[in-house]
């Protein structure tokens, strides 16, 4: 049969072969498709994993950024590229804009209200830094910014940028913020006029402690105007050489000594603030010059959502009586009066960084080279205070009055703080303290009328003192009956004061 139909057999064989071949191809294609699908699926999975965004913890981000900033700040700037990178890093940290100028040596640091043009040299040095404020036509070349960048003091550069930005931290539109800077400039001009009027005071002690604005340091770039109103004796002790420093303007300003305030502006409720200088000088026939303040009007002032602020260099314990007197001057709230504390306890804790408290009746011990002192402070229920950091005001005439009250409190705090030593030895005085507390006091009081008044019994080892904050600071010292005249007493006190050395005050 096969021989009879050879063509049919070949055709059948060929057909079967094609079917087998097609099945093989189908299996190969199916296998290839499955393999491709697996590869594609794996690739898609990899892509999904790589593209997946994991939430980054804000604390971790801040820590990482802090580490990067520390590394950046540890790298010394020695080239143009290094200076540009450091400027960009500082700008980014402050949330400002960093952009190139017309050449690789010109760069801009800007906000919506001001910009800095930093002109560099090819070596990475700083040629000039110019400040331009919104609404002002002229640019100002700033020597302080050039200096801090030239010496690589980027911490100071950052502080100055923060100071410039803080002027405009107001909840207002651009044109209102422009008036805020004009107001601050006008206030600084008036305070500068007051400083000029006190230039006849040549004695540094009187300039610091008795003049209307103390030692005035003008605005330096982004550093606000500074008024130094009291320099305690302890600040004039050089710890390294164990000697006294001279009280001079140069010494105080170069060493950053004393109690001071910065003249700033901050956002608040609406207040009427000057936009031009208000002070004119009246020259009398006898040669005396006095300031005259112009009344606020539509031509020299504007209502702004801001106020002027005296920012203390350190928070100060301030008694409520003086706080209320400041509020009477400024007609503005000053601090939180709802939770006052006993003033002496507040001063003690503040001076000892929280290590000591006179309220525990254990005494405050002072160890001198050849003496040991123990001080007890009696609180008065009417003598309470609060910690104050900022004092808001709205007129240049407020500043001398505020400084006078701050001097009064600062002097009291310095006196109390002189009895506080965190590192003094306490254990050896337990018996003495117990003995003193169990005895009655007996003595007399020395008053300003040059006579002695009797006082309740006292121990010969205990000398009570009273200090009064009403009006100018004054005190009464209680002493036992003395068989000497007041002149002899003065001579003895003067001699005792002259024997005090710098070592005894440490």
Q: Is the dihedral of CA 143, 148, 152, 158 positive or negative?
A: negative
Report if pTM > 0.85.
Answer: no
Residue 370: is it exposed, middle or buried by C-beta count within 10 angstroms (0-12/13-18/19+)?
A: exposed
Q: Please give the backbone phi and psi of residue 472, each rounded to the nearest 5 degrees, phi first.
A: -75, 145
DSSP-assigned letter for residue 265: E
What integer pLDDT is reported at residue 467 of this predicted model? 56
9 or 342: which carries more pLDDT confidence?
Answer: 342
Query: In this model, does residue 191 exceed pLDDT 60?
Result: yes
Q: Which has the closest alpha carbon to 481: 502, 457, 449, 505?
A: 457
Query: In this model, does residue 443 exceed pLDDT 70?
Result: no
* pLDDT bracket for residue 405 (50, 70, 90): very high
Query: In this model, does residue 162 exceed pLDDT 90?
Result: yes
Q: What is the mean pLDDT of residues 447-453?
A: 41
What integer pLDDT is reported at residue 356 of this predicted model? 80
What integer pLDDT is reported at residue 399 of this predicted model? 98
Query: In this model, does residue 19 exceed pLDDT 70?
Result: no
Q: Please give the backbone phi and psi of residue 400, each rounded to the nearest 5 degrees, phi first.
A: -60, -35
Q: What is the mean pLDDT of residues 309-338?
A: 94
Separation between Cα atoms, residue 386 and residue 374, nearest integer Å: 26
What integer pLDDT is reported at residue 2 of this predicted model? 45
For 337-375, what is each residue's pLDDT tens digit? 999 999 988 998 888 887 887 777 677 777 777 777 777
User: What is the enclosing helix (H) or strand (E) of 316?
Assistant: strand 301-319
Report yes or no: 246 and 237 within 8 Å, Cβ to Cβ. no
Mean pLDDT of the chain: 80
Of 313-317, 376-380, 451-455, where does mean pLDDT reach its minimum? 451-455
Separation between Cα atoms, residue 444 and residue 456, nearest integer Å: 8
* pLDDT bracket for residue 446 (50, 70, 90): very low
CA 187-191-195 angle, 5° bins: 165
Report yes or no: 107 and 116 within 8 Å, Cβ to Cβ. no
* pLDDT bracket for residue 271 (50, 70, 90): very high
DSSP-assigned letter for residue 378: -
Separation between Cα atoms, residue 160 and residue 173, nearest integer Å: 23
Report yes or no: 97 and 113 within 8 Å, Cβ to Cβ. no
The strand ranges marked E within 320-371 are 341-342, 364-367
What integer pLDDT is reported at residue 75 of this predicted model? 77
What integer pLDDT is reported at residue 444 of this predicted model? 32
Query: In this model, does residue 303 exceed pLDDT 90?
Result: yes
What integer pLDDT is reported at residue 450 of this predicted model? 41
493 or 317: which carries more pLDDT confidence?
Answer: 317
Query: In this model, does residue 132 exceed pLDDT 60?
Result: yes
Query: In this model, does residue 415 exceed pLDDT 70?
Result: yes
Query: In this model, does residue 139 exceed pLDDT 90?
Result: no
User: What is the enclosing helix (H) or strand (E) of 230?
Assistant: strand 225-230
Residue 168: is it exposed, middle or buried by C-beta count within 10 angstroms (0-12/13-18/19+)?
A: buried
86 or 356: which carries more pLDDT confidence?
Answer: 86
What integer pLDDT is reported at residue 441 of this predicted model? 31
Query: In this model, does residue 454 exceed pLDDT 50?
Result: no
The DSSP bridge partners found for residue 267 are 306
For 38-61, what is each residue's pLDDT tens digit? 656 666 666 665 565 556 677 777
22 or 490: which carries more pLDDT confidence?
Answer: 490
Of 17-21, 90-94, 163-167, 356-360, where does mean pLDDT reach its minimum? 17-21
* pLDDT above 70: percentage of residues in the chain: 74
Of 175-189, 219-233, 325-339, 359-373, where does mean pLDDT reach its minimum? 359-373
Report yes or no: 305 and 269 within 8 Å, Cβ to Cβ. yes
Q: Please give the backbone phi and psi of residue 284, each rounded to the nearest 5 degrees, phi first.
A: -85, 160
Q: What is the mean pLDDT of residues 381-390?
A: 90
């Amino acid at each position: 049969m096969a021989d009879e139909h050879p063509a049919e057999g070949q055709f059948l064989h060929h057909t079967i072969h094609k079917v087998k071949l097609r099945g093989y191809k189908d299996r190969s294609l199916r296998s290839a498709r499955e393999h491709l699908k697996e590869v594609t699926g794996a690739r898609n999975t990899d892509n999904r994993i790589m593209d997946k965004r994991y939430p980054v913890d804000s604390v971790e981000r801040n820590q990482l950024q802090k580490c990067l900033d520390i590394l950046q700040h540890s790298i010394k700037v020695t080239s143009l590229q290094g200076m540009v990178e450091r400027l960009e890093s500082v700008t980014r940290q402050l949330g400002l804009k960093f952009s190139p100028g017309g050449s690789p040596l010109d760069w801009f640091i800007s906000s919506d209200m001001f910009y800095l043009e930093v002109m560099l040299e090819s070596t990475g040095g700083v040629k000039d830094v110019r400040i331009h404020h919104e609404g002002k036509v002229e640019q100002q070349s700033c020597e302080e910014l050039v200096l801090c960048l030239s010496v690589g003091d980027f911490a100071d550069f950052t502080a100055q940028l923060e100071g410039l930005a803080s002027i405009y931290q107001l909840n207002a539109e651009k044109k209102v913020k422009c008036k805020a800077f004009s107001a601050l400039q006008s206030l600084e001009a008036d305070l500068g006029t007051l400083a000029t009027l006190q230039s006849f005071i040549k004695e540094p002690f009187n300039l610091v402690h008795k003049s209307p604005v103390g030692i005035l340091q003008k605005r330096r770039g982004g550093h606000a105007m500074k008024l130094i109103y009291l320099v305690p004796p302890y600040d004039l002790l050089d710890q390294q050489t164990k000697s006294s420093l001279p009280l001079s303007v140069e010494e105080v300003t170069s060493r950053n000594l004393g109690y001071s305030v910065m003249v700033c502006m901050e956002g608040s409720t609406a207040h009427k603030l000057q936009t031009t200088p208000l002070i004119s000088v009246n020259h009398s026939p006898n040669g005396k010059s006095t300031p005259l303040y112009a009344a606020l009007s539509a031509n020299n002032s504007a209502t702004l959502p801001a106020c002027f602020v005296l920012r203390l260099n350190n928070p100060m314990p301030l008694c409520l009586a003086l706080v209320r007197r400041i509020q009477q001057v400024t007609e503005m709230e000053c601090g939180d009066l709802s939770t006052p504390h006993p003033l002496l306890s507040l001063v003690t804790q503040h001076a000892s960084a929280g290590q000591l408290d006179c309220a525990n009746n254990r005494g405050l011990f002072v160890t001198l080279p050849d003496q040991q002192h123990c001080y007890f402070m009696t609180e008065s229920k009417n003598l309470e205070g609060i910690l104050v950091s900022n004092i808001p005001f709205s007129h240049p005439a407020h500043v001398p009055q505020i400084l006078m009250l701050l001097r009064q409190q600062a002097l009291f705090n310095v006196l109390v703080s002189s009895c506080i030593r965190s590192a003094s030895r306490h254990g050896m005085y337990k018996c003495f303290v117990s003995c003193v507390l169990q005895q009655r006091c007996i003595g007399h009081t020395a008053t300003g009328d040059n006579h002695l008044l009797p006082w309740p019994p006292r121990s010969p080892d205990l000398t009570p003192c009273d200090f009064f904050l009403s009006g100018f600071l004054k005190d009464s010292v209680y002493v036992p009956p003395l068989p000497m005249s007041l002149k002899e007493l003065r001579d003895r006190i003067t001699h005792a004061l002259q024997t005090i050395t710098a070592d005894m005050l440490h």
